[in-house]
Structures are given as C-alpha cells and as structure tokens.
Amino acid sequence: MTSAAVSLDKVTKVFDKIPVVDELSFEIREGEMYGLLGPNGAGKSTTIRMLITLTEPSSGVIEIAGEDIQANPAHAKRNIGVVLQQMSVDVDLTIWENLEFHARLHHIPNPLRQRLIRQSLEYVELGDRRDDLVKTLSGGMKRRVQIARALLHEPKILFLDEPTVGLDPQTRRRLWEIIRELNSNGMTILLTTHYMEEATTLCDRIGIMEAGKLIEEGTFEQMQTKYGKGLMVKQQGDRWEYDFFPTLKEAEHQLDQLSDRSGVMVRESNLEDIFVELTGRQLD
C-alpha cells in the first residue's frame, strides 16, 4: 500500500475561542493529486497555512513526508513547494532574479543552482523570457513563474492554492497540462480550487470541507454513485430544484411520468451539483 505523503490527524485551529478547523483528518497518498474544496469560510486557507508551517495548529498532528511538522518544520519546508493564490513574486525583478533569490534562500549552491533554475524555467516554458521583468508578464505567465519557483528545490509535495483563479480558459488549460505532467512524473499535489471542472479533471480524490470539518471524501465517480448520476432540474418560480436519481435512465423515466414538463430538464449530475447538495450553497 502507498504510504501517506501528507497526513492530518484531528487537526484543530481555534481563533477567538471559535474552531476554524475542527478535528480535521485526511491523508494524501504519495503520487496522488488531492482536491480540497469548500465554500468561503470553510477553513481551507487555514488548513493550507498549517500545512506550510505558517500557522501552528491548536491541537492534532500534521505529518509531511513521514515527519511531524511541529517537531521538525525544516523537514517539511524541504519537502514542499507552494503556489499561493496571492501573487508572491517580486514584480520589480526579472524572472531569473526571482528564482535566483529563492534558490539562495534554500542554500542551493552553484553550479547546481543555475542548472535547477534553467530546468524549472524550461519546464514552464519561460526559458526565453528569463530576463523579462515580472511586471511585464501576463497573469498566466506570472503564475508559471510561481510554479517554476516552487519546483526549484525539487520538493516531493506541491501545494497549489487556487492556481488558476482569474486566468482565461486557454491559460487555465495550459496550466492544467503542467500540473498533470508534474503529477504523472510522481509529484504529490494538494489542489484547492473554486472551479469544479478543474477538480473533476485533475484530482484522483476530492475532500469537501464545511465549517472546518471534512464532510465528504472520495473520487468523483464514488460521489456520483453515492448521491446519484441522474439529475432532474425543475424551475420553481425564480429558483431551481434539484432531484438526484441513481441513474440517468431513472431520471428520464421520472420525467416521462410528468404531465407538465415545462421548466424541467434531465442531465447527468456533476461535481458542482453534489457540492451544492452537501454545502447548501455555491462556492462564490
């Protein structure tokens, strides 16, 4: 059995006597791409901050690559790469200067440092732009610089916090290809996203958080089987009602029984339908 690259055991974080993360437990296996979803305020960002050692848990145990991160934070930092949603590269430096600075912080010696910077930039297809100031780049290119920087010290685990937010569909798909290739080369990835299609397309397993707790976990196929593959959508005044059925055929059969089919349609359920069913609200 594949061992856990990331493990959380009853992790809790309390702010002002209120648990923002509440006895959260899950594992990410080595080489797995795991999607962590949840509405705003569900505790995802706090969870990420604890995983990358920026915030200490109030209780519980987090292990990264087999080590307790509170007992050995340096081990965790060596093994993880992080791409946060906020732009965290220096826009007044060139692409190369940003990576050079980051590599020096990781005490990577020359000539290895130069080789790793070149390798990272080639990987995200920015080798020919190395001397460009970051402020002159598009949003998608800046995100690729962040990914190149996160890969520099050759981490085993990559945390991607909404890596494609605000990008156009074409750029988003290109980033999907980079992320998928990293994963197929053995990189363990934790992805948070507000795009349901992104989670369905990229992730091996998905965890859904609500109010600091994990309320559902599994593959998209497992969730579809559990909640229903067929969906009947009915317009009721100014809102929509959703009814799940085990199969699309059963939903179509139910539609055939209706005397009035106006404002009713049947389709296959998707991850967003299941998410809304579980959390009672959409992501934004």
Residue with tokens 């969730």, as numbered in its chain: 223
Cβ atoms < 10 Å from Cβ of 150 = 22
> Domains in the chain and their CATH numbers?
4-219 (3.40.50.300), 229-268 (no CATH)
261 pLDDT tier (thresholds 50, 70, 90): confident
Tokens of 273: 């339908």
CA distance linking residue 81 with residue 160, whole number of Å: 9
pLDDT average, residue stretch 22-51: 94
* Calpha distance 195→283 (Å, rounded): 9
- The answer on pLDDT for 2 being more than 70 is no
User: Would you state the pLDDT for residue 262?
Assistant: 85
Q: What are phi and psi of 8, to 5 degrees?
A: -120, 130
User: Is 17's pLDDT higher than 90?
Assistant: yes
Closest by Cα among 281, 229, 254 to 40:
281
| Mean pLDDT on 173-183 | 92
User: What mean pLDDT comes out for the span 39-49?
Assistant: 91
The answer to whether the CB of 24 falls within 8 A of the CB of 212 is yes
pLDDT band at 190 (very low <50, low <70, confident <90, very high): very high
Residue 163 structure tokens:
């890596």
Q: Is the pLDDT of residue 284 over 80?
A: no
What is the C-alpha separation between 160 and 124, in angstroms, rounded? 15
With b meaning 16 or more CB within 10 Å and e meaning fewer, what string describes 35-48?
bbbbbeebbbbbbb
Residue 281: the pLDDT is 61
Q: Read off φ and ψ for residue 221, nearest 5 degrees.
A: -65, -40
Cα(272)–Cα(200) distance, rounded to whole angstroms? Answer: 10
Residue 24 has a pLDDT of: 96
CA angle, 165 then 215 then 186, to 5°: 55
Looking up tokens 């200067």 gives 97
pLDDT in tens, 57-77: 999 999 999 999 999 999 999
Tens digits of per-residue pLDDT, 232-256? 999 888 888 899 999 999 999 999 9
